[in-house]
Amino acid sequence: MLFRSTVETDLDRLLGCVVDESISWAHPERLLSFLESGHYHHDHIWVAERDGEILARAVWWGFPGGEPLALDCVYVHPSVEDRVGLAAELLRHAHAQYGDAPEYHVFVANGWREDPKASAAIAWRWEAAGRAGLTEELERLRYEWTADMPMPEPSARLVFSGEDDDEVFVDAFRRVAVGTLDFHTRQALATTSPQEQARQDVAEYRKMPGDRSWWRLAHTKDGDLVGVALPSANNAGPVVGYLGVLPEQRGHGYVDELLGEITRFHAARGVQRVVADTDAGNAPMARAFERAGYRNFAIRLVLSPAT
């Protein structure tokens, strides 16, 4: 078996890999458009090949010109008996080349655990990913707001303002991260200083296609900082981005006003759909989405290496 990253001339055979399970995958249209935009790159698509036939394929996503950031799709040919073993080996080869193990993101419908087809599709992939070092499991709830929902009222308690200085956001992010229920932030804080973690987060949000000028600080009418609200966008369209309330300001329902401001901002631009994810374990955030008329339409499963 040959394990290798792909080249331009593999394209036809890559397009021939078909996943017909109830799970997100790198289907031909996605493969072609992301190869063109640079979010997929042949260096970050790996195959297991025997006698010129692709028996397994793994596809990673990243920003154009950047490192692979998330595993997007794992395919194994139906003729392979040990699909877990082959997929795990393929991932291990790619991880060895990358020098780390990017997270694996899979989108499934709500209720996937009760759906035998979807849970089977997840089960073998998770086992393979686990064998390749992706052992931490996280379930994120995907929410959407659509323009037929009521437009939130402007906040009566908070004043929102823009701020050009990234350092001000770094400081606010650092404070908001204290006591967070967000898995990724907590994981990052286990190995990174609060200042550095905040700096990395700000840098990541800056890379997103949303405008930096959309970012807002929220203050009380007395001028005390309450939190941040960052409407943004990803490749698929407008997103909530990030919001957070300082620990000393929590428990007053300010989350509703920050989320309301982000939703209003997008709605005022004529946006028809705003998407957001939050960890299933971040109950105050999930409840805020539900109060604001966001609908939980799917689940994002994330597997990552243990820290």
Q: Is 290 in the site for ligand COA (CB under 6 A)?
A: no
Q: What SS3 class is residue 228? A: strand
Q: Is 286 in the site for ligand COA (CB under 6 A)?
A: no
Helices 254-268 & 283-291, crossing angle to 10 degrees?
A: 50
With contact defined as beta carbons under 8 Å apart, do 5 and 43 qualify?
A: yes
With contact defined as beta carbons under 8 Å apart, do 163 and 169 qualify?
A: yes
Q: Is 282 in the site for ligand COA (CB under 6 A)?
A: yes
**Stretch near ligand COA under the rule CB under 6 A, chosen from 31-39, 129-137, 276-284, 296-304:** 276-284
Q: Is 252 in the site for ligand COA (CB under 6 A)?
A: yes
With contact defined as beta carbons under 8 Å apart, do 110 and 298 qualify?
A: yes
Select the residue interacting with ligand COA from 99, 179, 223, 270 (CB under 6 A).
179
Site string for ligand COA, 83-122 (x = CB under 6 A): ----------------------------------------
d(CA 98, CA 113): 32
Q: Which is nearer to ligand COA, 6 or 263 (CB)?
A: 263
Four-point Cα dihedral 270, 157, 282, 286, nearest 10: -50
Select the residue interacting with ligand COA from 102, 238, 244, 260 (CB under 6 A).
244
DSSP string covering 140-159: EEEEEEETTSPPPPPPSSEE
Q: Which is nearer to ligand COA, 128 or 262 (CB)?
A: 262
Select the residue interacting with ligand COA from 46, 61, 160, 254 (CB under 6 A).
254
By CB under 6 A, name the binding residues for ligand COA.
176, 179-182, 243-245, 250-255, 278, 282, 284-285, 288
